[in-house]
Amino acid sequence: MPIMYQVHRLRDGKNFAARKVDAIQKGKVIFTLLASFHKEESGLDHQEVDMPSVPAPDMLLPMEDLRERRLLDPRFPITYRNLKATTRFVPWPIDIRFCESRIATNQTKSPPSLNYWFRAKGKLSDDQALHRSVVAYTSDLIFLQVSLNPHRGKGFRARGVSLDHSMWFHRSVKADDWVLFTIFTPSAYNARACVTGQMFNQKGELLVSLVQEGLTRKLKPQDSVSKSKL
């Protein structure tokens, strides 16, 4: 369905500007963006967080190659492999390389964190707005799903929907160069889960800080008798 965007000028100052954008579909607001813009200027400079020690991106498999390996991995149930093999796979325009891979079982739970490198497939222009847009797009591909990791196990099925997503850009970013996205889920309670994230360049500089809250619900097992037989 077509979406209409309404942009509201909240502030136009000397160094800062703020906008509110409503996305409207069928007469209802389905999404609201609050954006704050700041002219670059010199100021205090410190960083109190370190980039995790992870393998370099060129030592890791692209997501497409990892998927092909999983289709042949006997540690995955044959039903899972058959489902993935018959499901249409549409590659993302982002090259993603996971720094670790765990297979969840009843004995081994997935960790409450995830690290992966990403970059755009192809060279981008020097427009910083474009690079930040690509980073924002990528930030929501695999973020809230990490909050499900501590609960994963055999037969586990859940659904998550983003409620809010916040990003703070600390430095200029290059989305066509490797960026490390480190994600952690500190809490989940009352069907609401929280994830936090940090993005670093290869020099270890903190580029972006992120927080997302989402609605997460465990799906009930399907009835053994199909609805058509009821």
CATH of the domain at 172: 3.10.129.10
Number of domains the chain is built from = 3
Taking a C-beta distance cutoff of 8 angstroms, is the pair 62, 96 a contact? yes
- pLDDT above 70: residue 221: no
Question: Within this chain, do residues 118 and 210 fall inside the same structural domain, yes or no?
Answer: yes
- Is position 212 annotated as part of the catalytic site? yes
Taking a C-beta distance cutoff of 8 angstroms, is the pair 51, 204 a contact? yes
For the record, the structure tokens of 22 come out as: 């409503």
Average pLDDT over residues 151-178: 90
| Whole-number Å distance between alpha carbons of 122 and 172 | 19
What is the tens place of the pLDDT at every residue in 173-212? 999 999 999 999 999 999 999 999 999 999 999 999 999 9
- pLDDT above 70: residue 166: yes
DSSP 201-216: -TT--EEEEEEEEEEE
Question: Within this chain, do residues 11 and 80 fall inside the same structural domain, yes or no?
Answer: no
Instruction: Provide the pLDDT confidence category of residue 108 given band limits of 50, 70 and 90.
Output: low
Question: Which pTM value belongs to this model?
Answer: 0.86
Question: Within this chain, do residues 117 and 155 fall inside the same structural domain, yes or no?
Answer: yes
- Is position 140 annotated as part of the catalytic site? yes
- pLDDT above 70: residue 103: no
pLDDT at residue number 104: 40
Question: Within this chain, do residues 118 and 211 fall inside the same structural domain, yes or no?
Answer: yes
Dihedral in degrees, nearest 10, Cα atoms 134, 40, 179, 185? -90
Average pLDDT over residues 141-164: 87
> Beta 4-12 vs 16-25: how paired, if at all?
antiparallel
Question: Within this chain, do residues 120 and 20 fall inside the same structural domain, yes or no?
Answer: no
Instruction: Provide the pLDDT confidence category of residue 230 given band limits of 50, 70 and 90.
Output: very low
- Is position 228 annotated as part of the catalytic site? no
Question: Within this chain, do residues 4 and 73 fall inside the same structural domain, yes or no?
Answer: no
Task: Please tell me which residue, 85 or 62, carries the higher pLDDT value.
Answer: 62
Active-site position among 65, 140, 172, 187: 140
Active-site position among 113, 128, 162, 209: 162
Dihedral in degrees, nearest 10, Cα atoms 125, 98, 76, 110? -130
Question: Within this chain, do residues 112 and 213 fall inside the same structural domain, yes or no?
Answer: yes
Question: Within this chain, do residues 202 and 101 fall inside the same structural domain, yes or no?
Answer: yes
Average pLDDT over residues 125-142: 96
Question: Within this chain, do residues 26 and 133 fall inside the same structural domain, yes or no?
Answer: no
Question: Within this chain, do residues 2 and 106 fall inside the same structural domain, yes or no?
Answer: no
Averaged confidence pLDDT in the chain: 89
What range does the domain containing 67 cover?
61-91
Task: Please tell me which residue, 117 or 150, carries the higher pLDDT value.
Answer: 117
Question: Within this chain, do residues 99 and 134 fall inside the same structural domain, yes or no?
Answer: yes
- pLDDT above 50: residue 223: no
